[in-house]
Amino acid sequence: MDATEIRQLVALERTHWWYRERRAILRRELRALGRPGRALDVGAAGGGNTRVLVEQGWDATATDSSPVAVQIARERGLRAVSADARSLPIESASVDLVTAFDVLEHIREDYLVTEEFARVLRPGGHALIAVPCDMRLWSSHDDAVGHVRRYSRDSLVRVVEKAGLQVERVWSWNVLLRPLIARHRRGSTGSDLRRMPAVVNAGLSAVVIAERYLPVRSGRGVSLFLRARLDDFGSKVSMC
């Protein structure tokens, strides 16, 4: 993301249906993980998800390659450092959780990023990852926000397991709204990141919240979420 996109995101994330529900997903996953520890939020932009980590008791640090993002996160009272996700300035085996929402799709060498996740995690630590899925949904939005790919389940699992992480769970998100989003993006001319009328925002929020209770996570969505774990011995999973 460029500086303009980051500032737009920060301005919208408190109320926008997309970001509100993703934060809700993060909260649920954190509760499932149990006792908080040290967390690293990679590609944190202005730190919206980092704030959730802190609120839930985690000792969290935001990282981003954009100086603007780091500045904004610090202005919001968060610990933030400038970092390339392919070479994190973090000690090996020093964190209990890595979060990376909408990061891998921006980096051609995504395998270097997941290798860094495995390096900085302590044995038994977890990674929570979210990415856009399905190249059939590619549109001008992807070009505008700097994506280099959209993932399939297989390609996401492959790059995570190659790094030595054990995939515990993969699920689709934004399944119910996929037809509407696909139709919209066929005619779009840039980023979808913009303010919308309150009634529209509320309607979309209601639909995506419904996915919490419906058996749709194995369907085709707009995004994929993945939870992975570094085994207790910190060793890589055999790919044989």
Give residue 233's pLDDT. Answer: 66
Q: Which residues contact 46 (CB under 8 A, 6 or more apart)?
A: 6, 7, 9, 10, 13, 69, 72, 73, 76
Integer Cα distance of 172 and 216 in angstroms: 8
20-54, pLDDT tens digit by residue?
Answer: 999 999 999 999 999 999 999 999 998 999 999 99
Put simply, whether the predicted model's pTM sits higher than 0.95 gets the answer: no
- Listed by start position, the domains of the chain span 3-229
Assigned CATH topology for domain 3-229: Rossmann fold (3.40.50)
